[in-house]
């Protein structure tokens, strides 16, 4: 198929320079701008509207499952952070400290939260006393700070927004069920709402969250063949409960430690949306989270009746989708390019000839297909086309991932694929940290996950040749 004409020349081609392409899009589409603090970003209204739509969908699903929203402080006393040794060591290089209050030096340093396990645990220790107090199903929407050395908008920044779920349970079985349930919530959200295909699996011991017994992840593949950890869910067992002396009287009236989980998704998923669906003309937004789902462009606005009919359509569509009309003095061509760059799923054009025929033209963002739609059936057609866009971008992303997933049986094959191709590598693994480190040191490849869906590629570890334990997805990652 012939390459389509670029509508936005200011965006660098992704084949020419993927990093520049990404930066061009986040700036040109006005998703963010840089702040005076290195590594921090200002999320602009259009970018924040995407995050608000993500929040709205997920928050509703969390609440359907019984979770309640809370708000914890952003400052953590150093002594509280030190209570869980493994957790502290995992975050130590990224922690930002407050040492002064006004002109006074603080007696104890305060950490700006990199995550909130310790705060939740302190609170749980005060409110959990009996098995009747369980489960505690809490969630928090907030920002956190991690002092990253290398930053990129949305993907990795010093301060970012996220939600963090924290739950306490009577039994290990209940907590493990919660961990898996929340991973499935994220996976369904990514695949059905964001149209991003993901691999579900467990992180290795080396890659798991600091302080967790097990970390589960969903991994997505970007346009450039790099993986993006899109959301995680952690099972903590009773490790934090013991460190923070959280106990409850069980059903036999004996003292016991509760079992804990934590799970989260952040604004980095906006970077994932851009790098999964975007093209050389800008954003391609999944309809579920697009701030504008349909943009109405009146053609020949000066002609009698055009604006009136466009307003009529606007009011009709408001009940079924997020719709906007552009009546600015810019040319139609400029408007087409502008909303193409902003990733609006459907563009609706209406002019004098269309009005005479009782129709309009709808253009899909994902493939630029033009559809003539009878105005009498407009609502049904808009809903149908929004779903077609969702399916279309999902299938395109899935096909790309399948084409960029390779199988390797030994180290030579891993090296050959890594040096000549981009994408996931499926290979067997013996379970040793040494083999993981060898791939990272020699090829810059990390283990992405032990997928729940296992394949028996061979009986030997592809790195060392010893007996294989699992099949892993490997790759370079953001």
What are 232's two structure tokens?
């995680």
pLDDT reported for residue 353: 96
Q: Which of the residues in the chain have pLDDT under 50? A: 1-4
> Can you tell me the distance from the alpha carbon of 114 to that of 89, in angstroms, rounded to the nearest whole number?
12
> Can you tell me the distance from the alpha carbon of 56 to that of 141, in angstroms, rounded to the nearest whole number?
11
pLDDT reported for residue 67: 98
Q: Are 327 and 299 in contact (CB under 8 A)?
A: no
Q: Which of 38, 231, 230 is nearest to 148 (CA)?
A: 38
> Can you tell me the distance from the alpha carbon of 433 to that of 269, in angstroms, rounded to the nearest whole number?
28
3-state secondary structure the chain: CCCCCCCCCCCCCCCCCHHHHHHHHHHHCCCEEECCCCCCEEECHHHHHHHHHHHHHHHHHHHHCCCEECCCCCEEEHHHHCCCHHHHHHHHHHCEEEEEECCEEEEEEEEECCCCHHHHHHHHHHHCCEHHHCCEEEEEEEEEECCCCCCECCCECCEEEEEEEEEEECCHHHHHHHHHHHHHHHHHHHHHHCCCCCEEEECCCCCCCCCCCEEEEEEEECCCCCEEEEEEEEEEECHHHHHCCCCEECCCCCEECCEEEEEEEECHHHHHHHHHHCECCECCCCHHHCCCCEEEEECCCCCCCHHHHHHHHHHHHCCCCCEEECCCCCCHHHHHHHHHHCCCCEEEEECHHHHHHCEEEEEECCCCCEEEEEHHHHHHHHHHHHHHHHHHHHHHHHHHHHHCEEECCCHHHHHHHHHHCCCEEEEEECCCHHHHHHHHHHHCCEEEEEECCCCCCCCECCCCCCECCEEEEEECEC
Alpha carbon of residue 141 to chain centroid: 14
pLDDT digits (tens, 9 = 90+) for 135-153: 999 999 999 999 988 889 9
Q: Which of 435, 384, 381, 372 is nearest to 408 (CA)?
A: 435
> Can you tell me the distance from the alpha carbon of 336 to that of 68, in angstroms, rounded to the nearest whole number?
42
> Can you tell me the distance from the alpha carbon of 440 to that of 445, in angstroms, rounded to the nearest whole number?
5
pLDDT reported for residue 210: 87
Neighbours of 232 (CB within 10 A): 22
Torsion, Cα 119 124 127 133, to 10 degrees, reads: 150
> Can you tell me the distance from the alpha carbon of 158 to that of 173, in angstroms, rounded to the nearest whole number?
36
pLDDT digits (tens, 9 = 90+) for 388-403: 999 999 999 999 999 9
pLDDT reported for residue 150: 87
pLDDT reported for residue 186: 98
Q: Are 323 and 293 in contact (CB under 8 A)?
A: yes
Q: Which domains does the chain have, with CATH numbers?
A: 18-277 (3.30.930.10), 292-401 (3.40.50.800), 405-475 (3.30.110.30)
pLDDT reported for residue 7: 52
pLDDT reported for residue 5: 52
pLDDT reported for residue 1: 38
pLDDT reported for residue 337: 96
The mean pLDDT value of the chain amounts to: 95
């Amino acid at each position: 198929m012939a390459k389509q004409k670029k509508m936005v020349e200011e965006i660098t081609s992704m084949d020419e320079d993927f990093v520049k392409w990404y930066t061009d899009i986040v700036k040109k589409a006005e998703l963010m701008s840089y702040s005076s603090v290195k590594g921090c970003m200002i999320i602009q209204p259009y970018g924040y509207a995407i995050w608000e739509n993500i929040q709205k969908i997920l928050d509703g699903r969390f609440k359907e499952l019984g979770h309640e929203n809370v708000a914890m402080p952003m400052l953590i006393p150093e002594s509280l952070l030190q209570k869980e040794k493994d957790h502290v060591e995992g975050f130590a290089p990224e922690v930002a400290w407050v040492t002064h209050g006004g002109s006074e030096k603080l007696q104890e340093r305060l950490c700006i939260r990199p995550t909130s396990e310790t705060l939740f645990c302190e609170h749980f220790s005060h409110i959990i006393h009996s098995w009747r107090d369980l489960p505690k199903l809490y969630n928090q929407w907030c920002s956190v700070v991690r002092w990253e050395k290398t930053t990129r908008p949305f993907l990795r920044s010093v301060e970012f927004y996220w939600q963090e779920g924290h739950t306490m349970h009577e039994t290990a079985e209940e907590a493990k069920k919660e961990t898996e349930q929340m991973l499935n919530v994220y996976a369904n959200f990514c695949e059905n709402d964001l149209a991003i295909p993901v691999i579900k699996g467990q992180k290795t011991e080396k890659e798991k969250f600091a302080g967790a017994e097990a970390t589960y992840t969903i991994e997505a593949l970007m346009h450039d063949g790099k993986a993006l950890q899109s959301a995680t869910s952690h099972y903590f067992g009773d490790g934090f409960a013991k460190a923070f002396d959280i106990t409850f009287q069980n059903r036999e009236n004996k003292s016991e430690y509760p079992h804990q989980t934590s799970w989260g998704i952040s604004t980095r998923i906006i970077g994932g949306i851009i790098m999964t669906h975007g093209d050389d003309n800008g954003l391609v937004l999944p309809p579920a989270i697009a701030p504008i789902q349909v943009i109405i462009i009146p053609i020949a606005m000066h002609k009698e009746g055009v604006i009136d009919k466009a307003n009529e359509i606007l009011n009709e569509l408001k009940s079924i989708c997020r719709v906007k009309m552009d009546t600015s003095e810019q040319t139609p061509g400029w408007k087409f390019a502008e909303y193409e760059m902003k990733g609006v799923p459907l563009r609706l054009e209406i002019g004098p000839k269309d009005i005479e025929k009782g129709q309009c033209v709808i253009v899909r963002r994902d493939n630029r297909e033009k559809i003539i739609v009878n105005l009498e059936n407009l609502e049904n057609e808009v809903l149908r086309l929004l779903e077609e866009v969702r399916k279309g971008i999902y299938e395109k992303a899935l096909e790309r991932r399948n084409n960029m997933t390779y199988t390797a049986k030994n180290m030579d094959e891993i090296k050959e694929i890594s040096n000549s191709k981009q994408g996931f590598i499926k290979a067997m693994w013996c379970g040793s940290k040494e083999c993981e480190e060898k791939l990272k040191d020699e090829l810059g490849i990390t283990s992405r996950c032990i997928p729940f869906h296992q394949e028996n590629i061979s009986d030997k570890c592809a790195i060392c040749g010893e007996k294989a334990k699992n099949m892993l997805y490997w790759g370079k990652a953001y």
